[in-house]
Structure 1
């Protein structure tokens, strides 16, 4: 029995569930005629219940009844049709649907009604039942609905239930009793799928063991087939040796020995390689497809803004240079993803600040212009709430006075964008002027923290209530932070890194809205400001930035459960003033993931060189050049590539090459070089450091 919520839904076929069906007058008249017994020419009898009907109405609703009533074997003089085994209530609902095109669906009747609709080919009713089941998919019932859909051969419901199960597998295998009841073939199909959403293959092995241990005497004989669904080549060597190889279902099982031997040889060869890579031809070493893609757009590199787009494949732990870049480079902007559309807001192109906004459709890979903001904003803070984009504060840029000092103040204003109407609307001003701040949304409100007010870096924070159109100050952070990264994560507000007026910081803190207090967190390995920040795979990622001496390409992530930071693979290009967002459930996700051969080092380099060439053409008078990484990552980054169960490691050397050095070198070579800070930050970034620096912007 499927576990469904105890609710009743009245749904109709013609309108898709809006409460009104088309041609309701006609259907209403037909229903009245049936209730009155007028013009009825047949009776459907179920058990001791009789239902007068019109043959033409039932024939129009169901090919089964059309065939029955038009068959030569069915006498026109015969009025009664007996259907044995059909529940009376289901028969009544089926007949009511034929006359009204509506049905009352509940957790109690959905299973029987779906089966009846399928048996008697009442396709409209079957469609409504499948849509009801789709809307009520949960971790507890999705596998049961999947098997039920397979039983009635409802491909659309089967597909949606399978997609739900694959996406939420991490929660399902550990808690669902339906998982333990899966047939072997269905289980192997799920576990071997490239779309199985697991951050570590260790979880797949745990799922195999849980299923086998439910009935070990009968199921352990299938261990060879089950173990083949685990991508053993992606496991950390310690996990493979300690957990898999020595497991009681594996250690003495001769049938799995060839797979264990092949994996040992693969991991040993991998350990010898200086730059290990995936072997896509080996099923046990091929990364699965991620359900979330992290996009990094634009930024500042080599003394100029860039238009480069990189995506991060969490399953392969690789960065991919995307070919679909915008026409105009920009830095110090904001990006927001709504569905599969990425909106790029404001920014700076080394000569002027923008109020224009761009939209990138990740499905069609087409850039387009959307309505501009009311005010130019670089160093803008953006957040998403209830389908609306909020743009807050920032810096309008020059004019300068005759002495060369910028007299344009930092902004207090804020505005909201409605994608449906393509319109920006000004909202209440913030309590403080702030640029180079960062914002996020939580519990129906917008939080903005830190920034620079034109004379000093800020530790203040405030929250916006859209219902009242009011800003309210909240307790300040423990440190001043300009160029900070702020994001909502596990019910709290995280403020990470930034510039405190003296130096870039590696500190982080967390705000709890319930008790209105800030608490300190472990420090990052790399101090940074003006970096990207996002949550993906339930981990908080910080990307690139400026460390006080140079732009960096280092990436690290924080696991709130472990309370530790971990290094991930570096980006392809050093950059700060970038912006990041996550796009989920892309239909063409494979276009943005790592593919050996297509995303080889040579092709990655080509993509980066294109970005560099475009940027160089735009600022030909600048002598500095972006610093490029063409390797898959440093040794520490690559350790995560084949070690999804991350291990905390020490800080990496973040120095880079001199601004005039255009050689494409690996990070290990870059570590021995230096890069002057003057070529890695924009004039505007220096303006946020202090009031004296602001005069040079």
Structure 2
């Protein structure tokens, strides 16, 4: 056995034995030599244990020379004021047993008492608990607590959590109640997850206007936390320079002029280092060097963490979620996705949130609907897929649409009966609930769905008699109504569809005649379909993606010669780009291995947060 492992095992054994012994001594009230008194409650304990766990009690029980004080009345009974006796009892029992029941209701009180009496073990347990429990509801309170109790680890963890979610938290009432130094610690950090510096300025001014008289006085200091050179010059002129509170402050207007000069390429001279006289203290040199060459904060043009967003093609399969940057030809690992089912449908909604639904989930506790579909949301901050309430209508070969905070799973094949269905089930992302909504006029599967300007379009597909359709229906959720529109020129199922430059593009697919390479485009204004440039190869299940103003086609299935020399469907994992000026498709990558078995969507992601593959 490894000697290190033996030592660790012996250490744990001795630690457990000691802890059990101490707990027994406390419970049996043996060898007790002091009492902590809070109000009318007394807590017998041992001076040695309290002194070993707390510098505060060590000073009480031992003199300045480190020698033990005589057990007089002053050390036998220690009176503690302004302490909740129940909290003190929990802390004492933890010191003897290493057991404490932390909850959201008591952790802050325990944290404060542990801080006051300098009990690092309890303090650390509380910090760990609060870090793990950080949420949108409590992060601001925990940030302030970390500052008040002078706990940098907790304050920084909470600040980073807030910085990651700045756009949503800056709208909250609690954010507007922050003290000036608390606000500046947040908006001054490089890690702020904002795409636009304008949103930081707007959050600051909302905060100032809560109490204009007092808070306008700290605007000069607040300016150093903002990076005005990252704003569009026109926005700076209209919104910053033209703000009444800023215009009323002469010192701020001087800074505004410096920023305007910086936009024109005129930066102020930075502080130059003066030569030191012989014999001067060299220890001060480091401090001066830190300041030398630094521009004022309001002229800082370093990008925030959130400003590294890119338009990417996100490929999701059952092993990993990978984002591909076409322009830079770079791949990034967005998340591992071992839990993602092979057969799934993905969607990235207008809020830039990605969801996937698919597979078969068996809920043994639900006797009414035991068979359901897995449902996940991509958390881009933790690089993980979060499980959401499973879809209660198990199906495959369906597709997804969206409207505001709603997702719609439309038609498909029932996984229990293997028959096409017309049901449409809706998920509310705010209420986190599934519900039935207006049925599709036809029972179909293998269709495509796109969403545009508050409407959902269901295109093509197959019926149970294997007949491909050219029909298109549009759903208006406000009116709870499906309406038939002009049909495609060619019936098709299992094809790619996307909204690109305010038109629907469809390509490829399969019908009674086999695979097709034909493509069509739909004009929303005229309700007409027209021919579009054919794809270079007949294939089905091609992923059409509109990203960064360009149109791409990823993967799919084509007829190819198999290993047994027969012709059959085989997956391809190439990437093509449509060249608008030449009206043609051009191959970009012959093989993108991450596209195998993947669903593809366009999404904006932060390249600085993801490891490059």
TM-score by length of 1: 0.48
1:57 pairs with 2:53:
no
Q: Which runs of 5+ in 2 are unaligned?
A: 1-12, 266-297, 349-354, 361-370, 377-389, 415-419, 428-435, 462-467, 486-498, 509-518, 522-531, 536-541, 557-573, 592-613
Q: State the 1:191 CA deviation.
A: 1.2
Alignment RMSD? 5.9
Pairing partner for 1:159 from 156, 161, 168: 156
Q: Are the counterparts in 2 of residues 494 and 510 from structure 1 also a CA contact under 8 Å? A: yes
Q: Rate the CA distance shift 1:43–1:502 in 2: closer, same or farther, 3 A.
A: closer
Q: Deviations over 1:505-546 (max 9, x none)?
A: 8x964669xx9866999x871313479xxxxxxxxxxxxx98
1:527 pairs with 2:504:
yes
Q: State the 1:248 CA deviation.
A: 0.5
**Corresponding residue for residue 44 of structure 1:** 36
Q: Are the counterparts in 2 of residues 45 and 80 from structure 1 also a CA contact under 8 Å? A: no
1:475 pairs with 2:439:
yes
**Corresponding residue for residue 358 of structure 2:** 390
More displaced stretch, 28-37 vs 162-171: 28-37
1:143 pairs with 2:140:
yes
Pairing partner for 2:219 from 200, 218, 223: 223
Q: Are the counterparts in 2 of residues 482 and 498 from structure 1 also a CA contact under 8 Å? A: no
Q: State the 1:87 CA deviation.
A: 1.4
Q: Rate the CA distance shift 1:234–1:27 in 2: closer, same or farther, 3 A.
A: same
Q: Rate the CA distance shift 1:483–1:550 in 2: closer, same or farther, 3 A.
A: farther
Q: State the 1:483 CA deviation.
A: 6.0
CA distance in structure 2 between the partners assigned to 1:242 and 1:519 by the alignment = 45
Pairing partner for 1:674 from 564, 579, 583: 583
For residue 576 of structure 1, give the secondary structure of its aligned residue in structure 2: strand
CA distance in structure 1 between the partners assigned to 2:450 and 2:505 by the alignment = 13
Q: State the 1:162 CA deviation.
A: 0.9
Q: Rate the CA distance shift 1:84–1:287 in 2: closer, same or farther, 3 A.
A: closer
**Corresponding residue for residue 329 of structure 1:** none
For residue 171 of structure 2, give the secondary structure of its aligned residue in structure 1: helix
Q: Deviations over 1:463-517 (max 9, x none)?
A: 699xxxxxx9971179989663579x9xxx9855755778898x964669xx986
CA distance in structure 2 between the partners assigned to 1:254 and 1:504 by the alignment = 66
**Corresponding residue for residue 589 of structure 1:** none
**Corresponding residue for residue 289 of structure 1:** 306
Pairing partner for 1:213 from 209, 216, 221: 209
Q: Are the counterparts in 2 of residues 309 and 321 from structure 1 also a CA contact under 8 Å? A: no
Q: State the 1:177 CA deviation.
A: 3.3
Pairing partner for 2:242 from 239, 242, 246: 246
CA distance in structure 2 between the partners assigned to 1:464 and 1:496 by the alignment = 15
**Corresponding residue for residue 548 of structure 2:** 569
Q: Are the counterparts in 2 of residues 197 and 290 from structure 1 also a CA contact under 8 Å? A: yes
**Corresponding residue for residue 385 of structure 2:** none
1:175 pairs with 2:172:
yes
CA distance in structure 2 between the partners assigned to 1:417 and 1:626 by the alignment = 28
Q: State the 1:118 CA deviation.
A: 1.8
CA distance in structure 2 between the partners assigned to 1:106 and 1:414 by the alignment = 33
Q: State the 1:102 CA deviation.
A: 2.8
For residue 476 of structure 1, give the secondary structure of its aligned residue in structure 2: coil
Q: Rate the CA distance shift 1:292–1:95 in 2: closer, same or farther, 3 A.
A: farther
More displaced stretch, 111-120 vs 42-51: 42-51
**Corresponding residue for residue 92 of structure 1:** 89
Q: Which has the greater radius of gyration?
A: 2
Q: Rate the CA distance shift 1:201–1:477 in 2: closer, same or farther, 3 A.
A: farther
1:82 pairs with 2:78:
yes
1:322 pairs with 2:330:
yes
Q: Are the counterparts in 2 of residues 64 and 120 from structure 1 also a CA contact under 8 Å? A: yes
For residue 289 of structure 1, give the secondary structure of its aligned residue in structure 2: helix
Q: State the 1:35 CA deviation.
A: 4.1
CA distance in structure 2 between the partners assigned to 1:155 and 1:145 by the alignment = 12
CA distance in structure 2 between the partners assigned to 1:202 and 1:298 by the alignment = 32
Question: Higher RCO, 1 or 2 (CA under 8 Å, sep at least 6)?
Answer: 1
**Corresponding residue for residue 585 of structure 1:** none
Q: Are the counterparts in 2 of residues 55 and 69 from structure 1 also a CA contact under 8 Å? A: yes
Pairing partner for 2:188 from 192, 198, 223: 192
Q: Rate the CA distance shift 1:486–1:555 in 2: closer, same or farther, 3 A.
A: closer
For residue 581 of structure 2, give the secondary structure of its aligned residue in structure 1: coil
Q: State the 1:265 CA deviation.
A: 6.6
Q: Deviations over 1:434-485 (max 9, x none)?
A: 4xx535999xx997436799xxxx99456699xxxxxx99711799896635
Pairing partner for 1:255 from 240, 251, 255: 251
Q: Are the counterparts in 1 of residues 409 and 424 from structure 2 also a CA contact under 8 Å? A: yes
Q: Are the counterparts in 1 of residues 194 and 304 from structure 2 also a CA contact under 8 Å? A: no
Q: How many residues align?
A: 431
CA distance in structure 2 between the partners assigned to 1:98 and 1:432 by the alignment = 55
Q: State the 1:155 CA deviation.
A: 3.0
Q: State the 1:244 CA deviation.
A: 2.5
**Corresponding residue for residue 276 of structure 1:** none
Q: Rate the CA distance shift 1:282–1:320 in 2: closer, same or farther, 3 A.
A: farther
For residue 103 of structure 1, give the secondary structure of its aligned residue in structure 2: coil
CA distance in structure 2 between the partners assigned to 1:145 and 1:388 by the alignment = 33
**Corresponding residue for residue 14 of structure 1:** none
Q: Rate the CA distance shift 1:546–1:319 in 2: closer, same or farther, 3 A.
A: farther
Q: Are the counterparts in 2 of residues 460 and 476 from structure 1 also a CA contact under 8 Å? A: yes
CA distance in structure 2 between the partners assigned to 1:295 and 1:343 by the alignment = 21
CA distance in structure 2 between the partners assigned to 1:69 and 1:519 by the alignment = 83
Q: Deviations over 1:130-181 (max 9, x none)?
A: 2443355454543332122123232332222112221232233332335433
CA distance in structure 1 between the partners assigned to 2:25 and 2:180 by the alignment = 49
CA distance in structure 2 between the partners assigned to 1:52 and 1:67 by the alignment = 18
Pairing partner for 2:120 from 117, 120, 123: 123
Equivalent residue runs for 1:232-631 within 5 Å = 232-235=228-231, 239-257=235-253, 259-261=255-257, 283-284=300-301, 286=303, 288-289=305-306, 296-297=313-314, 310-311=323-324, 320-323=328-331, 340-342=335-337, 381=345, 390-391=358-359, 434=397, 437-438=398-399, 448-449=409-410, 460-461=422-423, 475-476=439-440, 484-485=448-449, 495=456, 509=475, 525-529=502-506, 547=521, 548-549=532-533, 569-570=548-549, 574-577=551-554
Q: Rate the CA distance shift 1:308–1:94 in 2: closer, same or farther, 3 A.
A: closer
For residue 38 of structure 1, give the secondary structure of its aligned residue in structure 2: coil
TM-score by length of 2: 0.53
Q: Deviations over 1:363-404 (max 9, x none)?
A: xxxxxxxxxx6xxx7xx64699xx997348xxxxxxxxxxxx
Q: Are the counterparts in 1 of residues 193 and 304 from structure 2 also a CA contact under 8 Å? A: no
Q: Are the counterparts in 1 of residues 395 and 413 from structure 2 also a CA contact under 8 Å? A: no
